[in-house]
Structure 1
Amino acid sequence: MQTYWGKTTQKIWGCSGGYVASSNAFPIKTFRELVEKTAQLSYLNKDHLLFYRGQNSDYRNRGGSSTFYPSIYRGDYLQQREVNNRFDILDGACKSLTDLFVDQKVEGYKELKRKKYIQWSVLQHYEVCATPLLDFTHSLRVACSFALQENKSENAYIFVFGLPYITNRISVNSEHDLVNIRLLSICPPHALRPYFQEGYVAGTEDITTTYDSKSELDFNNRLIAKFEIPNSDDFWGKSFDQIPKDSLYPNNDPIWELTKEIKDLADRELKAGDLGDFLKLWSELEETILNEVNKRTDRFMSVREAIRLLYDQEQITKELLNEIDRIRKFRNQVVHTPKKINPRMIQDYIFELERLNKEIKTTANN
């Protein structure tokens, strides 16, 4: 990728995203100037399609580089157990979204039911829960409006990314390990928000809970340039203006009303409190069981197979086997049919899991 940088029209050829991510943002005075700079960037990067993100701040990691992780991977020293928990929450939200679309016969429900990327896209764009996708826009005006919206700072930031050209509504590029989704093409027409925002979402292909290095999921490796714009009316000038919030988030959006139900459920039952504690304790139990089995065999096993092996080798009793299996079935119910779960039931299972964790660990240490 070619990067336009510096206070003059200097071309830095073959510049990596890491270099740009660790650099200071290039100052821009007006929207017209920003358009001119991105036009040069587009010309220099003929092999890539430019997308934009507008933010109030330039969020940097501990190494001083701008960072752009999909929400499901955010956080320093993210533990595997937490990643698994977040994907469990996502699975539950997908199931709830599909059920709602099917029940209400929302246009496009059959396709949404079949394709996880469409489910993830709707959940991401309507901010229901964390997903492996990151929001972009193809419109500079939209990006600037987001960056300046409810911004109390003197400046805002526009980030320019170079992604592979799109060939389909859901465009998978195996060469770059990227999937890019045009929301205008896959969202039902009743979903007004993506149409007003000219929205796209992108993620790393086929990577979910396991990855070699978390840094491979950071979109800063696709960053071409970052600009700092002033938070003032002078930035827009006489010829342009900011898109108001009620246009970016239009009222009477039927899909927003639907996803609100899921978000309320996720906030109340899936994200925090007892359910989160239950899923973490279950992940802890899985980890203990698999670690114990790994000492006994090199063969890869599912958790269910590992539990059965411990029983066959008389490491756990029949009663313990039945208890673990009963909780495992409840865990699957939590993930796949969260609406049917009574929050009071979760507290009972938490107490049982805490006891089982201690018992399994004691057994493993003997």
Structure 2
Amino acid sequence: MREISPKLTPELQAHCNGLSVDKAPAFQVTTFRRLVEQVAKLAYINHDDLLFFRGQDTDYLNRSGGTTLYPGIYRGDSIPERELRHRFDMLEQGCRLLVEKWQVAKIDGYSDIRRKKYIQWSILQHYEVAETPLIDLTHSLRVACSFAQLKKSTDVAYVYVLGLPHVTNRISVNSEHDLVNVRLLSICPPAALRPHFQEGYLAGTTDVTTDFDSKTELDFRNRLVAKFSIPSSSQFWGSGFNIIPATALFPRGDKILELCNEVKSALKDELQPGDIGSFIGVWAELEDFLLTTGRRLTERNISVREAIARMLERELITPEFANELQALRMFRNNLVHQPTKVRSLSVGAWLDRVRDALKQITAGPSQTSPR
């Protein structure tokens, strides 16, 4: 995503003292009214952007001491590519389960859910089913403050102000800034109560999954306009304002929550350690080796299938071993896209095969190439 240079009020400029907003300490605000006044000034001078808010009980910092606001799927230092691919495999399975259960439940909006990836991701993210490349935001300052104070784990909480392109559609894609913004109220059916109470939005970087030049381009600190610290106590609200209770932020009787809980449970069942999850993890490591070798041979990005073919052409592997790799690749695809068709098979046997293949191919050419 494109980094912005926010315009600050004289008060905030003096507070930052030459530091960028992410590296400067959070600006302390003692009352909700005072926070509204600060945000009003920022909205006026940053009129090219639309301001969104996010509340947290902790200000997470990177190694250089700056605030970091990564979508959940990208969180963690130096994530190996195979781990990231594994996370996206889990997300893909979650999407498939969501679509299946949505159709069975006969809830409005099935056509959109089936066709639109960003809607699938948004619902899985907002209902905490799986980590996605999207981050939760709100257009309501009161909602953000209520979320920040929800856990009351410390004496202070944090509210972030982010500047995003103006929203034009229910799913707004801005190619100039490499950002997508999803308005949950417009994509969720009335049965989904939570987004309506939270005035929820989700934002992410367009067309980026596991292949990116620098992970920092996915960090929403690039869109940070200001960060505030607020008291966790009820005195913050003063007279005339009140925190939104958890019972309102997470209302009962939400049919989509019930459906998403079923998806979450099914996803856990399908990804038990030592079972399907272990296969996907080992396959991810094998796939990484194949893709790295294939890219070195062809000097371009290629698929796993093509990488196996190129290695066979160069006699780096035998025809028999190439067939085994293709069989493992096809099993992995069925596992991710049609797991109900492979549950009756012995996943343990396939796990042994993929482990053996990884061991052979990483041991050197003598194990897999023609003699």
Q: TM-score range by the shorter chain?
A: over 0.9
Partner SS, residue 283 of structure 1: helix
Correspondence for 1:86: 87
Shift in Å, 1:269: 2.7
CA 150–11 in structure 1, closer or farther in 2 if over 3 Å, else same: closer
Q: Is the 8 A contact 1:18 1:221 kept in 2?
A: no
Match of 2:113 in 1: 112
Q: CA deviation at 1:299?
A: 5.7
- Aligned pair in 2 of structure 1 residues 107, 30: CA closer, same or farther (>3 Å)? same
2:294–2:307 CA contact under 8 A, matched in 1: yes
Distance 2:217 2:226 in 1: 19
TM-fit CA distance, 1:152: 2.6
Match of 2:8 in 1: 4
Q: Give the TM-score taking structure 2 as reference length.
A: 0.91
Q: What is aligned with 1:200?
A: 201
- Cα RMSD over matched residues? 2.3
TM-aligned CA deviation for residue 65 of structure 1? 0.4
Q: CA deviation at 1:337?
A: 2.3
Which string of whole-angstrom CA distances, capped at 9 and with x for unpartnered residues, describes residues 264-301 of structure 1?
12233337553332122112222223344445444653
Q: CA, structure 1 residues 68+18, in 2 after alignment: closer, same or farther (shift >3 Å)?
A: farther
Q: Secondary structure at the match of 2:21?
A: helix
Q: Compare 351-360 and 159-168 and name the one that shifted more.
A: 351-360
Listed as ranges, the gaps of 5+ residues in structure 2 are none
Contact 1:88-1:335 within 8 A present in 2 as well: yes
Partner of 2:232: 231
Corresponding residue for residue 75 of structure 1: 76
Correspondences of 1:162-241 after superposition (within 5 Å): 162-241=163-242
- How far residue 11 of structure 1 moved from its aligned partner, in angstroms, is 6.2
Moved more, 104-113 or 341-350: 341-350
Per-residue CA deviations over 1:141-184 (Å, capped at 9, x if unaligned) read 11111111121311111111111110111011111111111000
Q: Retained in 2: the 8 A contact 1:184–1:199?
A: yes
CA gap 1:258/1:36 in 2 versus in 1, 3 angstroms? same
State the Cα distance separating 1:336 from its structure 2 match. 1.0
Tell me the distance in 2 between the aligned counterparts of 1:186 and 1:251.
20
Cα separation, partners in 2 of 1:291 and 1:37, compared to 1, 3 Å: closer
Secondary structure at the aligned position of 1:238 is classed as coil
Superposed CA deviations along residues 85-105 of structure 1, whole A, max 9, x for unmatched, are: 111111111111111112222
Instruction: Give, as a single letter, the amino acid of the residue that structure 2 aligns with 1:186.
Output: I
Amino acid of the structure 1 residue aligned with 2:145: C
Q: How much does 1:308 deviate?
A: 2.9
Structure 1 spans left out of the alignment, 5+ residues:
none
**TM-score under structure 1 normalisation?**
0.92
Q: What's the CA shift for 1:340?
A: 4.4
1:131-146 superposed matches below 5 A: 131-146=132-147
CA distance in 2, matches of 1:297, 1:251: 55
Is residue 2:283 matched to residue 1:282? yes
Report deviation, 1:339.
Answer: 4.3
| Conserved? CA contact 1:18–1:65, under 8 Å | no
How far apart in 2 are the matches of 1:234 and 1:60?
Answer: 27
Q: 1:348: how far off?
A: 2.3
- Residue 22 of structure 1 is matched in structure 2 by 23
User: What is the aligned residue count?
Assistant: 362
- 8 Å Cα contact 1:315/1:363 also seen in 2: no
Distance 1:142 1:299, change over 3 A: closer
Which sits farther off after the overlay, 85-94 or 274-283? 274-283
The equivalent of 2:125 in structure 1 is 124
Q: Percent identity?
A: 51
